[in-house]
């Protein structure tokens, strides 16, 4: 039900008319409701009426089975809306949190007078990782050359 997604403009969202539960049930039984989408939290439903207008009805979770019975009795299609995707906002928040905590730790290390030792240690570890990467690169290049040479010799022998 793409018409019932909550990713609408705030002004448009404010223009959505609200119905009471009794109005919703009356409209369902009068065949004026085309589709219904339950919020994942079951605290409200979005209703698309036969005129194409979207209505919002706040419900309580205990009312959901009654509403589902009414919708099934009148053959009104319904679904549960997916929750809004918050993964990008979660990642931004986690990134900001990690940056702030890193700055706090560096500030505490500096206040303890150990920042020069931290920088020196990072330099030594970084250089060690650089040397390790260079050695691995040389080993991989040597192995690739050996495999290439073996393949050439094998191909040359098979042609003779």
Q: Looking at 55-59, 109-113, 117-121, which range is the least confident one? A: 55-59
Q: How confident is the model at residue 147 (pLDDT cuts 50, 70, 90)?
A: very high
Q: How far apart are CA 101 and CA 77, in angstroms?
A: 49
Q: How far apart are the first and last CA of the chain?
A: 69
Indicate the pTM of the whole model. Answer: 0.45
Q: How far is Cα 130 from Cα 126, in angstroms, rounded to an integer? A: 6
Average pLDDT of 104-117?
94
Task: Record the tokens describing residue 32, joined without a space.
Answer: 């004026």
Question: What H or E segment, with its residue span, contains residue 157?
Answer: helix 115-159
61 backbone dihedrals φ, ψ, rounded to 5°: -55, -30
- How far CA 40 is from CA of 66, 69, 84, 91, 123, in Å, comes to 17, 18, 10, 22, 51
Cα–Cα distance measured from residue 49 to residue 19, given in angstroms and rounded to the nearest whole number = 12
pLDDT digits (tens, 9 = 90+) for 16-74: 678 888 999 999 999 999 999 998 888 889 999 888 888 889 998 888 999 999 999 99
Alpha helical stretches, state H, 54-114: 64-73, 87-111
The DSSP secondary-structure symbol of 112 reads T
């Amino acid at each position: 039900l793409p018409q019932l997604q909550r990713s609408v403009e705030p002004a448009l969202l404010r223009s959505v008319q609200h119905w009471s539960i009794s109005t919703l049930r009356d409209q369902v039984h009068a065949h004026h409701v085309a589709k219904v989408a339950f919020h994942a939290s079951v605290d409200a439903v979005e209703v698309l009426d036969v005129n194409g207008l979207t209505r919002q009805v706040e419900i309580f979770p205990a009312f959901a089975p009654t509403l589902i019975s009414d919708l099934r009795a009148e053959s009104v299609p319904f679904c549960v809306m997916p929750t809004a995707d918050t993964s990008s906002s979660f990642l931004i928040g986690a990134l900001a949190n990690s940056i702030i905590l890193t700055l706090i730790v560096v500030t505490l290390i500096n206040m303890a007078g150990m920042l020069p030792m931290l920088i020196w240690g990072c330099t030594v570890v970084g250089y060690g990782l650089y040397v390790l990467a260079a050695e691995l690169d040389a080993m991989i290049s040597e192995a690739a050359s050996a495999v290439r040479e073996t393949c050439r010799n094998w191909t040359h022998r098979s042609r003779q």
